[in-house]
Homo-oligomer: A and B are copies of this chain.
Amino acid sequence: MTSDCTEDDVRKMDIGDPLAAVREKFHLPAGVVYLDGNSLGAAPKAAFEELNAAAKSEWADQLIRSWQGAGWWALPETLGDLLAGLAGAQQGEIVVCDTTSSNLYKALHAALSLRPKRPVILTEAEGFPTDTYIAEGVKSVRENIELRLGSLDDNNIDELLDDSIAAVLINHIDYRTGAVRNMKQITKRIHAAGAIAIWDLCHSAGVYPIDLNGANVDFAAGCTYKYLNGGPGSPAYIFAATRHHGELSQPLSGWWGHMEPFAFEPTYTAAKGIRRLLCGTQPILSMRALKAGLDIYADLDMVDVRQKSMSLTNLFINLIDQECQGHDVEVASPRDARARGSQVSLSHANGAPIIAALTARGVIGGFRAPNVMRFGFAPLYLSHHDVWRAVAHLKEVLVSEEWRQDRFNIPGHIS
């Protein structure tokens, strides 16, 4: 912006926001500007009703009968089908279950089994750490597997690919910078090298349009407690393209993935479709809260969601430029909104106490060592005026240097 952006300008942006009414579907605590929805999403009001119905009517009153009568048994697929609409998947290609880490574990083993002569897993040197940890876990039990780590952005992935690579595990959006990877282009290159493409969607699902089938992705996984607003530790999900369902195997072969789970057969036979990616009994109460989060998307157009996400992050960067000059704050995310997810990372040598000082003011963001302040902009429940307030507080924290107080120099919180 060439001329200064005013609070009035910002209020006008909210008036024109087609998603403004969606905010009412969330419980947001008074006095808080919540910019950590990329870590734990806000609570949909309907989640309380879902939990109440699941606990009181279904569990307490109907007891065991709810496994069929209330659709508990089918919830991994029911929720997976809701997610499919957000992710460019078909019905029956996603199940909600377990954790992102265990789902990536299944996907990596499945990929290695589909490429039995190739020994290498390629993943990101600076991706979300659990991805690498899980790849190490796979390597620890499987003979002759190697890990290769690299920087897998659009420009240089080719030089890391060769015919030894069985699978590439890559994040759709970088958790530190918010940089978006070109899913279609990268998957094409992975396939050209004969490898299987596994995408981690943790930081894109719910805020960025995803077209898994359009990009010809093989497997994907992600969590639901960030922008999908499923609640603390709500179960994760896994996608497998239909073309793989026939030969797909994974070693977490528990009874929920069995073709006839109630026949109590002595040996394992995998279910025919996506259920073969299930393992054990899933946490129904947590899944029901998640259902409330996913239901909100039924009325939304992801184009509007993405548009608002870009509008919020653009405004934040513009206001940082306008208001926070001279305080050693650097924008660490791509400045081009098209290359950025729904977060903006700022670097500052004293990021940790600055985040703590902001939190004390009710502006909640996250911190990642060594110096990254992460601000997530959840387009479903944030307004442009929230962004204005956040930057106003950040400016005050920087100008006053209140972050130097001892009480803000504390160990980081989970985010």
Contact = CB atoms under 8 A, between A and B. Distances in A.
A413 interface: yes
A1 interface: no
B98 A251 contact: no
A397 interface: no
B283 A283 contact: yes
Contacts of A100: 254, 280-281
Centre residue among A61, A256, A284 by max chain B CB count within 10 A: A284
A280 B68 contact: no
A233 B282 contact: yes
Contacts of A262: 369, 412, 414
Interface in A256-272: 256, 258, 262-268
B414 A67 contact: yes
B67 A232 contact: yes
A132 B266 contact: yes
Contacts of A143: 143
Given A99-B281, A283-B235, A137 B63 contact: no
B63 A29 contact: yes
A99 B279 CA distance: 8
Contact of A55 (B137, B231, B284): B231
A21 interface: no
Interface string A358-373: 0100001010110000
A254 to B, nearest CB: 3
B55 A266 contact: no
Nearest to A262: B412
Given A56-B48, A129-B265, A232-B59, A364 B64 contact: yes
Interface stretch (A34-42, A155-163, A187-195, A386-394): A34-42
A31 to B, nearest CB: 11
Contacts of A286: 283-286
A42 B55 CA distance: 10
Given A55-B51, A98-B102, A268-B132, A64 B285 contact: no
Contacts of A223: 281
Contacts of A65: 359, 364, 413
Contacts of A252: 101-102, 105, 134, 137
A287 B59 CA distance: 15
Interface string A49-77: 00110111011111111111000110000
Contacts of A62: 29
A138 B252 CA distance: 8
20 contacts: A32-B63, A36-B63, A43-B55, A43-B56, A43-B59, A48-B55, A51-B285, A67-B414, A67-B415, A100-B280, A102-B252, A105-B252, A129-B255, A129-B264, A129-B265, A130-B280, A136-B253, A137-B268, A140-B249, A264-B368
Interface of A: 27, 29, 32, 34, 36, 39-40, 42-43, 47-48, 51-52, 54-56, 58-68, 72-73, 98-102, 105, 109, 125-126, 129-130, 132-134, 136-138, 140-143, 149, 223, 225, 231-236, 249-256, 258, 262-268, 279-287, 289, 359, 364, 366, 368-369, 412-415
